[in-house]
Chains A and B, each alone.
Chain A
Amino acid sequence: MKKVMKEADSLLPLTPAIFHILLALADGERHGYAIMQEVGSRGNLRLGPGTLYGSIKRMLADGLIKESDERPDPEIDDERRRYYRLTDFGERVVSAEVERMSKLVRHARSKSLLRVSKSKA
């Protein structure tokens, strides 16, 4: 377990694209376009197909996600689509990243930086 945790740490910090894809898959498996839509709806990051599938390739190689064998209901399924889901390792990595980020946010808050930006907003 310790070894796996260490590996998870070794992948941090994640690139914005990978982090957002992992977040999008946290709710369950999705196909490429669904991931893109989810990421696009959440913030100002617009993934292009090249970035999306380049990241997916790397995440598959690192074992963060895997291609899902289960297909949805044939009526709504398009067989050209591929579905991906988080692996256990992927979940751990994204948690570790979130933990790292929240630490950063706490640190920023302790320096009263967050308040300043809020008041400006």
Chain B
Amino acid sequence: MNRPKQTLPGLDRVYRLLLKGYPAEFREKYETPMAQVFRDRCRDESARRGTWGLVLLSLHTLADLVRTVPAEHLDQLGQDIRYGGRILLESPGFTTMAVLALALGIGANSAIFSAMTAALKPLPYKEPERLVVLNEPWATLSKAHFDKWRGQTNIFESVAAFSWDGVNLTGGERAEYVIRAQVSSDFFGVLGVTPSLGRTFLGREDGSRPTREVVISYDLWQRRYHSDPGLIGKSCSLNGEQFEVVGIMPAGFYPPGNESVEAWTPLGWETPKTGTSAQLGLPVIARLRPGVTMEKARTEIGRIGQESGQDAHEDPSAKSVIEPLNQNEPAKYFGPTLTILQICVTFLLLLACANVAALLLARATQRQKEMSIRTTLGASGPRLIRQLLTESLMLGLLGGALGLVFALGITHLMASALSSARTESPLYGALKGIGMNGRVLGFTLLITLLTGVVFGLTPAMRGSKANLREPIQGQGSRWGSIFGRQYIHSWLVVLEVAVALVLLTRVALVIQQFRENRDEFREALHPAQVLTMEIYLSEKQYPDKNRIVCAYQQVIQKVKGLDAVQSAGVLGREPWSDNSGSFSAGGFNCIGIAGEPRSPSSPSKGLAAFAGAVDPALLQAMRIPLRKGRYFTEQDLADSVPSAIIDQGLADTLFRGEDPMGKTVKLVDIPDELKVLTTSPSLLEKRSQKIAEQPGTLYSVVGVRGKPVGYEWVNESLYIPYTQVPHSITQSLRYMNLIVRARSDPKTLEPAVSAAIWAVDKDLPISRIRTLEQRIRGWSAPERLLNQLLAFFTAAAMILAAVGIFGLMTYVVGQRAREIGVRLSLGARPSQMLRLVMIQGMQLILIGVTFGLILTFTLPVFIGMLYEIVTLNPQTFSGGLSPQRVMILLLGILAGTALILAISGIYTLRRESSSLPQPSRGVVPVVSAFKWLLGRASRLTLFGVVLGLLLVSFGFGVFASWEGATMTHPPTFVVASLLLAGVTLLACYLTARRVGKIDPTELMRQG
């Protein structure tokens, strides 16, 4: 009988502990009777059945708890939701404003997140993280070199080489030009992709004489062969040679770097792949062995370089020889724009949150009476916070739901804008998968909940601290400075001003840069009048340069003979495209160029550059702007003095400020042994010397053209008449753009031009027939779209900020109505009051503008540093995390922390010495004092670290702008500041005037 009695207190204690799981309100009312009931039952059960009875009772009670605790919470949530719903419905104006602001913020975020996930979608290969690219822009790959890579079985599981070109596919209704990749036999194995029908290549194809087999893409199979399952084993003709179709790849498969490849044939090593490697950009791909890191692979590559006599190991840039495959994706180019867009929408959401928080704060003051009454009726602080947070979460969820609709609209708009632009930009491939999916929905829900808490928490904390006397005494209206009673509102004004300014200036910079890039050629070209198409002359029918030139001359003559044609010509490298990702016609890139030696002691340097063949008359007809000299003329023929037009970049490099006109440049076919995978400085030097020493074809510079702004990363380039192309690189002439300037609408010209070409050779494939306008639009469509979105979101952010600031200032000034009343009744003049209020508004604006200015310099650097620290990536846009930078960073953080600690130390000594816990009633004073200090110190250190980081980034930012980096856009900054100041002052003025017109005694009575 004794034992159960002893267990009673233990069970009772456990039960009381478990009761804490119920909501506080329920517990307050029923905790005591419930514990009493439990004790009664324990007593009876132990008397009746002893220990066994207690065990059964415990189990039963536990089951009861498990069932009823969640039920009580749900019940309370239901109550909160019903109450919250009623409150929200009671003020539809407030609810609509808040939900719209949130929908805008959340919707913009999920739309951009959707674009980000689409652009960063994983590559369609097996374990893409183990794929690497062995890449060197000017290299061509020899079989021996390739075999060397393939021999590195300790690093690479498999290695494949490939190149792509255009081929003429015949043997159907009409000839078709398709992009073909020539691949080594392991190619599909490296990527880990199997065909959906048939097989890929067997090992035996890697000889000097490749087998005549072809694997085609799913699209080509559908389009040309109408998904004929019996196609395997049949033959088709590529460039007049018969190939057997052995496999069909699955839908959506594309080789790295080029989504338009539609046929794969075995790579032959008998002809060196001159002139194509730079266009490929990806001569070799490899799959790392499991467990091999990038670092290890890099070290090994360095070792191989050493063995072959290159000192690559000391050269940090040698890292670029081997790169993870994903870095070669289009996201690399468009990542920055998308990142800016993501930052922009984050700011938009921040502004929306600030606005809703301001609305809630204003309401919290209105609802103080309600809160007082509820507190009097027994509602606890946490209970009220819970109620208010439920309301803000409901607002958030409503905003999120509407935001999702908004996001769907934006993504739909983006997708249709991109597809209608018929764009060839690599970003299109990345963005066409845009849309809603589980990840986007999850993200939206997450930011919705986060938003609800972020904007709801402060108002809820304040709202719940209902002071029973305050609404009656009306003390909520003291001076509203940023340190006063209304400091939250004032800080919100400062925050909105700063955020809006930072956002606007950054976006203005981005958009300005984009416009500059785009407009350069458009002004000169009048692209709407120009029709372009690509033609290809196969090796079989046109074996040598004479025949090729003759064919082009005939085609041009026929086309020029058409009535509606103003001028026509052929052109290799397109001057208006950025040449990334797309197959570019007629560019023979791997060419050595050297200027004439200035003196025997200082020989000229050789370099590798892009070069393009062009119809002599075309540059002028196309109105491509020249900075100096003349265009080619009809006299620049095969047998006349070879002449070249170079771009400003090449002129600067070769002639270093001297006038290039009349000087000679030499075109050299780079020797194979120098076309190797390296960035080793010594090898580059050797190549430069070799190019300078080697005999080549000499060209006299007759003109200099501007370099397209924004395409600085495209290497120097040079144009020569196609009739004067050296014999050694005739191959590059096979594939050219035919450019036709029309007298009227160029689209109507298409059939006539095609007929004229086919009159010369009925099997000539014509592809990509577009107007130049379409091509340029196609290239820039995704960027233009992103910029439009950027502009739209920024405008939305600006409106949100203006509305928010107006509302906040109206509220802040309105809160001082009572005080103004008192002052007026004591004899103050209305104009004095007005000035007082305006000065307060100006103060806030000034602080906001200052913060905005600091942040404009700080934020880009800060984000860059964070990015570097998080990813530990040494190759980022802000120049790498060098030891000096790390030192400065640490010093800055240290300085910031010390500063904060020092200030707080002085502050504590002067003001807060009394708040140190006093020894009292058996508490160990040292421990509690230590705890107090620790808590305080950790908080201060955190502040210090943040302040330090900001200081350092500000320093870097100012330094960078000193060195010429564009950090801000002064006109936008000034205009935006003035605009926001105007809004603030207007709000102050209107409210002050309204308040001033009310009778002071009335104001006093209102309280």
Task: Name A's B-contacting residues (CB within 8 A).
Answer: 31-33, 36, 46, 48-54, 56-57, 78, 80-82
Across the interface, A78 reaches (CB within 8 A) one of B36, B61, B75, namely B36
> Does B40 have its Cβ within 8 Å of any Cβ on chain A?
yes
A-B contact pairs, 19 of them (CB 8 A): A31-B33, A32-B34, A32-B36, A33-B36, A33-B40, A48-B61, A48-B63, A48-B64, A49-B34, A49-B64, A50-B65, A50-B69, A52-B37, A53-B26, A53-B30, A54-B72, A56-B30, A57-B26, A78-B36
A31 to B30, CA, bound (A): 12
Question: Are the CB atoms of B33 and A50 closer together than 8 Å?
Answer: no
Contacts of B931 in A (CB 8 A): none
- When C-beta atoms are compared, the residue in chain A nearest to B56 turns out to be A46
- When C-beta atoms are compared, the residue in chain B nearest to A48 turns out to be B64
Contacts of B63 in A (CB 8 A): 48
Question: Are the CB atoms of B33 and A48 closer together than 8 Å?
Answer: no
What's the minimum C-beta distance from B83 to chain A, rounded to whole angstroms? 14
A92 to B29, CA, bound (A): 27
> Does B41 have its Cβ within 8 Å of any Cβ on chain A?
yes
> Does B3 have its Cβ within 8 Å of any Cβ on chain A?
no
> Does B227 have its Cβ within 8 Å of any Cβ on chain A?
no
A54 to B629, CA, bound (A): 94
A56 to B33, CA, bound (A): 12
Given known contacts A49-B34, A49-B61, A50-B69, A36 and B26 CB-to-CB distance under 8 angstroms? no
> Does B71 have its Cβ within 8 Å of any Cβ on chain A?
yes
Question: Are the CB atoms of A82 and B41 closer together than 8 Å?
Answer: no
- When C-beta atoms are compared, the residue in chain A nearest to B39 turns out to be A33
> Does B1005 have its Cβ within 8 Å of any Cβ on chain A?
no
Question: Are the CB atoms of B69 and A36 closer together than 8 Å?
Answer: no
A94 to B201, CA, bound (A): 83
A32 to B72, CA, bound (A): 18
Question: Are the CB atoms of A57 and B30 closer together than 8 Å?
Answer: yes
Interface of B is mostly: helix
Given A32-B37, A50-B72, A81-B33, output 18 extra A-B contacts at Cβ < 8 Å.
A32-B36, A33-B37, A46-B60, A48-B60, A48-B61, A48-B64, A48-B67, A48-B68, A50-B22, A50-B69, A51-B67, A52-B37, A53-B34, A54-B68, A54-B72, A57-B26, A80-B32, A81-B36
A33 to B37, CA, bound (A): 5
| Binary flags per residue of B833-874, CB closer than 8 Å to A gives 1, else 0 | 000000000000000000000000000000000000000000
- When C-beta atoms are compared, the residue in chain B nearest to A53 turns out to be B30
- When C-beta atoms are compared, the residue in chain A nearest to B34 turns out to be A49
Question: Are the CB atoms of A51 and B36 closer together than 8 Å?
Answer: no
Contacts of A31 in B (CB 8 A): 33
> Does B38 have its Cβ within 8 Å of any Cβ on chain A?
yes
What's the minimum C-beta distance from A97 to chain B, rounded to whole angstroms? 22
What's the minimum C-beta distance from B71 to chain A, rounded to whole angstroms? 6
Interface of A is mostly: helix
Contacts of B69 in A (CB 8 A): 50
Task: Name the interface residues of B731-786: CB closer than 8 Å to any CB of A.
Answer: none
Contacts of A53 in B (CB 8 A): 26, 30, 33-34
A52 to B63, CA, bound (A): 13
Contacts of B68 in A (CB 8 A): 48, 50-51, 54
How many A-B residue contacts, CB cutoff 8 Å? 56
A23 to B34, CA, bound (A): 21
What's the minimum C-beta distance from A78 to chain B, rounded to whole angstroms? 7
Contacts of A78 in B (CB 8 A): 36
A50 to B65, CA, bound (A): 6
Contacts of B61 in A (CB 8 A): 48-49
What's the minimum C-beta distance from B140 to chain A, rounded to whole angstroms? 79
- Please count how many residues in chain B sit with their CB below 8 Å of the partner chain's CB atoms: 23
A48 to B15, CA, bound (A): 12
A71 to B36, CA, bound (A): 17
Contacts of A49 in B (CB 8 A): 34, 37-38, 61, 64
Question: Are the CB atoms of B37 and A50 closer together than 8 Å?
Answer: no
Question: Are the CB atoms of A36 and B41 closer together than 8 Å?
Answer: yes
- When C-beta atoms are compared, the residue in chain B nearest to A55 turns out to be B68
- When C-beta atoms are compared, the residue in chain A nearest to B44 turns out to be A37
What's the minimum C-beta distance from A58 to chain B, rounded to whole angstroms? 8
What's the minimum C-beta distance from A11 to chain B, rounded to whole angstroms? 16
What's the minimum C-beta distance from B27 to chain A, rounded to whole angstroms? 10
Please list the 4 inter-chain residue pairs (A to B) with the smallest Cβ-Cβ separation, ordered nearest first.
A48-B64, A50-B68, A53-B30, A49-B34
A48 to B26, CA, bound (A): 16
What's the minimum C-beta distance from B62 to chain A, rounded to whole angstroms? 9
Of listed A51, A54, A78, residue having the most chain B CB within 10 A: A54
| Binary flags per residue of B414-439, CB closer than 8 Å to A gives 1, else 0 | 00000000000000000000000000
Task: Name the interface residues of B36-55: CB closer than 8 Å to any CB of A.
Answer: 36-38, 40-41
A35 to B38, CA, bound (A): 13
A82 to B33, CA, bound (A): 7
- When C-beta atoms are compared, the residue in chain B nearest to A78 turns out to be B36
Contacts of B36 in A (CB 8 A): 32-33, 78, 80-81
Question: Are the CB atoms of A32 and B33 closer together than 8 Å?
Answer: yes
A46 to B53, CA, bound (A): 14
- When C-beta atoms are compared, the residue in chain B nearest to A36 turns out to be B37
Contacts of A80 in B (CB 8 A): 32-33, 36
A54 to B75, CA, bound (A): 10
| Binary flags per residue of B52-90, CB closer than 8 Å to A gives 1, else 0 | 000000001101110111011001000000000000000
Question: Are the CB atoms of B41 and A50 closer together than 8 Å?
Answer: no
A78 to B43, CA, bound (A): 16
A36 to B36, CA, bound (A): 12
Contacts of B64 in A (CB 8 A): 48-51
- When C-beta atoms are compared, the residue in chain A nearest to B61 turns out to be A48
Of listed A31, A49, A51, residue having the most chain B CB within 10 A: A49
Question: Are the CB atoms of B30 and A33 closer together than 8 Å?
Answer: no
A57 to B76, CA, bound (A): 12
A90 to B71, CA, bound (A): 23
Contacts of A50 in B (CB 8 A): 22, 34, 64-65, 67-69, 72
Contacts of B37 in A (CB 8 A): 32-33, 36, 49, 52
A46 to B72, CA, bound (A): 19
A48 to B66, CA, bound (A): 11
- When C-beta atoms are compared, the residue in chain A nearest to B66 turns out to be A50
Contacts of B72 in A (CB 8 A): 50, 54
Contacts of A33 in B (CB 8 A): 36-37, 40-41
Contacts of B26 in A (CB 8 A): 53, 57
What's the minimum C-beta distance from A82 to chain B, rounded to whole angstroms? 5
- When C-beta atoms are compared, the residue in chain A nearest to B64 turns out to be A48
What's the minimum C-beta distance from A88 to chain B, rounded to whole angstroms? 24
A57 to B38, CA, bound (A): 18
- When C-beta atoms are compared, the residue in chain A nearest to B21 turns out to be A50
Contacts of A48 in B (CB 8 A): 60-61, 63-65, 67-68
Task: Name the interface residues of B1-28: CB closer than 8 Å to any CB of A.
Answer: 22, 26
Contacts of A51 in B (CB 8 A): 64, 67-68
What's the minimum C-beta distance from B52 to chain A, rounded to whole angstroms? 16
A78 to B71, CA, bound (A): 29
Task: Name the interface residues of B152-192: CB closer than 8 Å to any CB of A.
Answer: none
Contacts of B34 in A (CB 8 A): 32, 49-50, 52-53
Contacts of B30 in A (CB 8 A): 53, 56-57
A56 to B72, CA, bound (A): 12
A51 to B22, CA, bound (A): 12
What's the minimum C-beta distance from A68 to chain B, rounded to whole angstroms? 13
Question: Are the CB atoms of B33 and A54 closer together than 8 Å?
Answer: no
What's the minimum C-beta distance from A87 to chain B, rounded to whole angstroms? 18
- When C-beta atoms are compared, the residue in chain A nearest to B36 turns out to be A80
Of listed B34, B72, B75, residue having the most chain A CB within 10 A: B34
| Binary flags per residue of B254-270, CB closer than 8 Å to A gives 1, else 0 | 00000000000000000
What's the minimum C-beta distance from A17 to chain B, rounded to whole angstroms? 10
A57 to B31, CA, bound (A): 12
